[in-house]
Copies of this chain bind each other. A is one copy, B any other.
Amino acid sequence: MKSKIKNKIRVISLGGLGEIGKNITAIEYKDEIIVIDCGISFPEPDMYGVDLVIPDITYLLENKDKVKGFFLTHGHEDHIGALPYVLKQLNVPVYGTRLTLGLVESKLEEHNILKDCDLNVVKAGNTIKLENISVEFIRNSHSIADSCAIAVHTPIGRVVHTGDFKVDYTPIDGEVMDLQRLSTLGKQGVLLLLADSTNVERQGYTISEKVIGESLNRIFGKATGRVIVATFASNIHRLQQIVNASIFYERKIAFSGRSMEKISQVAMNLGYLNIPEESIVGINEIGKYDSENITIITTGSQGEPMSALTRIAAGIHRSVQVEKGDLVIISASPIPGNEKCISNVINDLFKRGAEVIYNSLEEIHVSGHACQEELKLIHSLVKPKYFMPVHGEYRHLMQHGLLAEKLGMDKSNIFVSQVGDVLEVHSKAATISGKVKTGAIMVDGLGVGDVGSSVLHDRKLLAQDGILTVVITIKKDSYTIVAGPDIITRGFVYVRESENIINDARDIVLKEVEKKLAAKDMSRRNIKFAVKNSLSQFIYMKIKRRPIIMPIIMEV
């Protein structure tokens, strides 16, 4: 869809509305499109075998010449993770803060496209001027360092996008959210606000990251053996606090887990994470030190199957075996859907004799997202004319809309939109004017987009009841069966139990095929259909299951 309206700002989210993750929003004015973030989401439980999901950027490809760049709010996967895939199709400049681009860089390197990409480091406070649009980065606070909100200035008005944020008055790095700038913009007039809705259902305020440091110090003070802390690798402030507590209690620090090693290295190189060189030891060298002098910082705070902590809990980590006296701190909350995995890891650690501290026991994690009171603050400072909640499931967007209403906003100025909706805004009016093509591209192994709904449907059926393959070889000219029917199953029931069923099934197939052959019907399609039909009826009658039935007719 090409816009004919030149005096309007068009805002189109290609992801991040009605879902957690895959955040990407295009803001368009005249012949320029700027794109805020480009993230992945993690597969839904019914996306069998899918590794990750990226946005469908058809709209951007159709407007290739307009797209001036990606402007990144921060370095989390759900905001930068799709760049390696998307830049291959649409190679435009990328703008972000140093840490954000440091993380992007290492991704692009892995995908072997770094040398072809145009990365531009900005600082909070900087403005990138394009022809009609200019893009301003504004410091905010979040669970990753060097995070920003973004203001988009156009001749007909401003759009403010909060990014993911919380209001932390005492951040670890002292970089307090630039509330004054947001206030000034609000005073000057903001046409449209897009704001993070993740925690809108929570009352009150999000606790400052600094509180966690106090908890950690208290817990470290009592620890007598090794301390193993699992947290999000990207939460550099958390890492710094774990490091500080470790150094205070004379512990060396070892990192374990691929993303932990990678991200901590990037953060150290860029000066976001400060560890005296003599305090770092390799994970293979921890045995050289007394237990009370070791801290291990690992991935796996979500119980991810092959992560470092999960391997430690399962007793299959190469360098770390749980010892009596080990204290494990899981410094994270379960992301919905991960509860069972984390719980299993906690159970396994207890069974191996470790003490385990997790969130229901101590205050060892805080969210990175604003709760209701913080959202109210931002709305009150920015005082936008129009409002579009972003970053959340539909329920969160709805609640955020209601919150804005309670603050006195006119209901008709609030746009609870869906992915692909085109919100057209100018100084006098705003309206959803249409929809562009969007979607979820599934990445599975090296394949991008080659797993579609029919494949997923099959995988679901296979997972439920398995598959029953029927092979039969027919002699074409004599209308006779020369081999088979053979029935082979996978993921079905125990062969022992199902032997009778399989024998009966073979008889049924034989009868069906012989019927067709007797009628001189050699249509593979007809034979297959008859076999499939009679078999699935028989199996369902016998055991109330619906395996995939795959008849194969060979002709000689």
Q: Contacts A49-B464, A460-B463 given: A451-B494 contact, CB under 8 Å? A: yes
**Contact flags (1/0) for A411-455 with B, using CB distance below 8 Å?**
000000000000000000000000000000000111100111001
Segment at the B interface, from A27-35, A163-171, A214-222, A543-551: A543-551
A494 pairs with B336, CB closer than 8 A: no
Bound Cα distance A346, B395 (Å): 7
Q: Is A343 an interface residue (CB 8 A)?
A: yes
Kindly provide the distance from the CB of A52 to the nearest chain B CB, expressed in whole angstroms: 14
> Chain A 447-485 against B: per-residue CB contact (8 Å), 1 yes, 0 no?
100111001001110111111010101000000001110
Asked if A552 and B486 sit within 8 Å, CB to CB, the answer is yes
| Chain B residues within 8 Å of A471, by CB | 471, 552, 554
Task: Enumerate chain B residues within 8 angstroms of A361, measured Cβ to Cβ.
Answer: 201, 399
A529 to chain B, nearest CB (A): 16
B483 touches A473 (CB 8 A): yes
Which residues from B are CB-within-8-Å of A201?
A: 360-361
Taking CB atoms and an 8 Å cut-off, the chain A residues in 299-352 that contact chain B are 336-337, 339-340, 343, 346-347, 350-351
Closest to A343 in B: B393
Which of A49, A202, A350 is packed against the most chain B CB atoms within 10 Å? A49
Known contacts A350-B395, A446-B544; is-contact A494 B452 (Cβ 8 Å): yes
Residue A276 at the chain B interface, CB threshold 8 Å: no
Residue A488 at the B interface, CB < 8 A? yes
Q: Per a CB cutoff under 8 Å, which of B346, B398, B473 touches A556?
A: B473
- Which bracket fits the contact residues of A? 35 or more
- Residue contact A446 to B543, C-beta cutoff 8 Å: yes
A357-388 residues at the B interface, CB under 8 angstroms = 360-361
Chain B residues within 8 Å of A61, by CB: none
User: Could you say which of A455, A544, A552 has the most chain B C-beta atoms within 10 Å of its C-beta?
Assistant: A455
What is the distance, in angstroms, from A309's C-beta to the closest C-beta of chain B?
Answer: 15
Query: Once bound together, how far apart are the Cα atoms of A544 and B339, in whole Å?
Result: 29
Residue of B nearest to A455 (CB): B491
Given that A48-B464, A459-B462, A483-B555 are known contacts, is A340 also in contact with B343, CB under 8 Å in the complex? Answer: no
Interface pair A491/B459, CB less than 8 Å apart: yes
The one of B49, B336, B451, B482 in contact with A340, judged by C-beta atoms closer than 8 angstroms, is: B336
With contacts A459-B463, A464-B49, A556-B473 taken as known, whether A447 is within 8 angstroms of B339 at the C-beta atoms is no
Q: Considering the chains assembled together, what is the distance between the CA atoms of A473 and B554 in angstroms?
A: 8
| CB atoms of B483 and A556 under 8 A apart | yes
Give Cα A412–Cα B181 distance, bound, in whole angstroms: 62
Of the A-B pairs whose beta carbons lie under 8 Å apart in the complex, a sample of 24, sorted by A's number, is A44-B340, A48-B463, A48-B464, A48-B491, A49-B466, A201-B361, A346-B395, A347-B393, A350-B395, A444-B465, A444-B493, A444-B545, A447-B497, A450-B493, A455-B491, A462-B462, A462-B466, A462-B467, A469-B550, A473-B483, A473-B556, A482-B556, A483-B556, A488-B550
Q: With A49-B466, A455-B494 given, can you name 6 additional A-B contacts, CB distance below 8 Å? A: A48-B464, A49-B463, A49-B491, A336-B339, A473-B554, A483-B554
Residues of A whose CB lies within 8 Å of any CB of B are 18, 44-45, 48-49, 201-202, 336-337, 339-340, 343, 346-347, 350-351, 356, 360-361, 393-395, 398-399, 444-447, 450-452, 455, 458-460, 462-467, 469, 471, 473, 482-484, 486, 488, 490-494, 497-498, 542-545, 548, 550, 552, 554-556
7 shortest interchain CB distances as A-B pairs:
A463-B463, A462-B462, A445-B544, A347-B394, A336-B339, A458-B491, A459-B491
